[in-house]
């Protein structure tokens, strides 16, 4: 007769249930701030800067309002992103930050 050890399935089931709960919580559209996306860990891994403020300052940008930040988003900003990060554009950087945020929210 063949016997198979099945210990550990309860723990796996708990983890899968938690993953499902986490996925439900972030399902749909989410409003996430740049601070939540561009964490110090993200900046350390993907850029030469410690924060978004550091990234702005290193490019000579003096931003005090969201409107000023929106005005910065142009080809020059993308060139700065290319020079100071692993990304070819701001959009590519945001996409990666969004993926990383999702993974954290799921509990990985």
Q: Considering the domain boundaries, does residue 2 fall inside one?
A: no
Would you say residue 4 has pLDDT above 70? no
What is the token pair recorded at 92? 């590519």
Would you say residue 23 has pLDDT above 70? no
User: Looking at the 3D structure of the chain, how many domains does it have?
Assistant: 1
Specify whether the backbone of 74 is left (phi greater than 0), alpha (psi in -120 to 50) or beta.
beta
Q: 14: part of which helix (H) or strand (E)? A: helix 9-26
pTM, two decimals, is 0.76
Range of the domain at 64: 33-106
Q: What is the mean pLDDT of the chain?
A: 86
Residue 17: what pLDDT? Answer: 62
Q: Which parts of 29-89 fold into alpha helices (H)?
A: 34-37, 40-46, 52-58, 66-72, 75-84
Q: Considering the domain boundaries, does residue 43 fall inside one?
A: yes
Would you say residue 88 has pLDDT above 80? yes
* Nearest CA among 64, 60, 48, 52 for reference residue 97: 52
Q: Considering the domain boundaries, does residue 42 fall inside one?
A: yes
Q: Considering the domain boundaries, does residue 66 fall inside one?
A: yes
Would you say residue 82 has pLDDT above 70? yes
Tens-place pLDDT, residues 35-78: 999 999 999 999 999 999 999 999 999 999 989 999 999 999 99
Residue 81: what pLDDT? Answer: 98
Residue 108: what pLDDT? Answer: 77
Q: Considering the domain boundaries, does residue 59 fall inside one?
A: yes
Only one residue has tokens 């050890």, namely 5
């Amino acid at each position: 007769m063949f016997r198979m050890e099945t210990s550990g399935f309860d723990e796996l089931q708990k983890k899968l249930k938690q993953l499902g709960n986490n996925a439900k919580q972030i399902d749909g559209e989410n409003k996430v701030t740049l601070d939540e996306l561009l964490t110090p860990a993200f900046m350390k891994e993907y850029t030469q800067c410690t924060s978004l403020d550091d990234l702005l300052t290193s490019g000579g940008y003096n931003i005090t309002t969201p409107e000023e930040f929106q005005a910065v988003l142009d080809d020059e900003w993308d060139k700065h992103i290319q020079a100071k990060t692993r990304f070819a554009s701001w959009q590519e950087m945001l996409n990666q930050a969004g993926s990383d945020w999702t993974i954290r929210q799921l509990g990985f």
